[in-house]
Amino acid sequence: MSTNRIELIELSNNGDNRGTSYSFPIKWKKYFNEINDIHFLELVPNEIRGNHYHLLKNEIIFIKHKDKFKLFWRDPKTKGIKSKCFNGKGAIFLKIPTLISHA
Is 2 inside any structural domain? no
Rounded to whole angstroms, how far apart are CA atoms 32 and 51?
Answer: 24
Report for 29-33, 35-39, 79-83: range of highest mean pLDDT? 79-83
By percentage, how much of the chain surpasses pLDDT 90? Answer: 18
Rounded to whole angstroms, how far apart are CA atoms 95 and 30?
Answer: 12
Rounded to whole angstroms, how far apart are CA atoms 6 and 101?
Answer: 10
Strands 37-43 and 59-65: parallel
Is 103 inside any structural domain? no
Is 65 inside any structural domain? yes
Residues whose CB falls within 8 Å of the CB of residue 82, separated by 6 or more in sequence, listed in order: 72, 73, 74, 75
Give yes or no for residue 64 having a pLDDT over 70: yes
Is 11 inside any structural domain? yes
Give yes or no for residue 88 having a pLDDT over 90: no
Predicted confidence band at 92 (pLDDT cuts at 50, 70, 90)?
very high
Structural domain that includes position 82: 7-15+24-96
Is 101 inside any structural domain? no
Q: Into how many domains does the chain fold?
A: 1
What pLDDT, on the 0 to 100 scale, is given for residue 1?
A: 43
Give yes or no for residue 3 having a pLDDT over 70: no
